[in-house]
Amino acid sequence: MTTLPASTQKKLGLVIDLDTCVGCHACVISCKGWNTENYGAPLSDMDAYGGEPEGTFLNRVHSFEVAREDAAPVVVHFPKSCLHCDDAPCVTVCPTGASYKRTEDGIVLVNESDCIGCGLCAWACPYGAREMDASEKVMKKCTLCVDRIYNENLPEEDREPACVRTCPAGARHFGDFADPDSHVSRLTAERGGFDLMPEQGTKPVNKYLPPRGRDTLDVPDLASLCEPQTDQAKGFLGWLDRALERL
């Protein structure tokens, strides 16, 4: 079994703003593109245009309609990927050491050459963040674009996860949670960032920002606007109305 490091030098991770995410799936597509077309390990698609398509995705967006008291329901888009937990059960359950957490930055990765595809890590992960690649027969997961954030061949502004770089709404933020003055740490503190399913005790690094309260408008009763007017029109319009009724 694999052991977790006692501590890490950095805690790289994401802050996802549920108030800003519009559910466009740009993060999903950019993640798939980067990991299939560029430096990352390919993410297979099986029978993509057939009756039973199956694909490997490291990031997914779920949409929920949330009911509210005395207000119209709202739709919340919830992106989900690996949370790079401090106490990652997917690492400690791995029988070959293929799953591991890096000491230098806290990123949880899979050494695919050591993975036997047993699926124990997927069973242990409470977030469903691991996916078995049907083609490669190994487990795959979000890498925080480790092959991108340290890539000196890329412009400095591109050295962040593909999902963060692509998000048109600015709902995704990347940084070091070990630094209390980092952008992600301050954003989490200011906006009340929270852990996903903290009762699991996994201590996820990634945080979510809750949706803000929605503005309310005094909307008139539309049915009342459609009621027939009983007041008789006066003047020329009144004469015209009576003349037309006699035709």
pLDDT (tens digit per residue) in 143-197? 999 999 999 999 999 999 999 999 999 999 999 999 999 999 999 999 999 999 9
pLDDT (tens digit per residue) in 9-52? 999 999 999 999 999 999 999 999 998 876 556 788 888 899 99
pLDDT at 120 over 80: yes
Sign for the CA dihedral angle at 186, 151, 159, 148 comes to negative
Please report whether residue 239 resides in a domain: no
Please report whether residue 75 resides in a domain: yes
Please report whether residue 28 resides in a domain: yes
CA distance 143 to 151: 14
How many Cβ atoms sit within 10 Å of the Cβ of residue 188? 21
Please report whether residue 234 resides in a domain: no
**157: domain CATH number?**
3.30.70.20
Task: State the pLDDT at residue 219.
Answer: 60
Please report whether residue 172 resides in a domain: yes
Structural domain that includes position 162 = 12-209
Q: How many domains does the chain have?
A: 1
Please report whether residue 224 resides in a domain: no
pLDDT (tens digit per residue) in 66-114? 888 877 788 999 999 999 999 999 999 999 999 999 999 999 999 999 9
Please report whether residue 1 resides in a domain: no
pLDDT at 224 over 70: no
Please report whether residue 222 resides in a domain: no
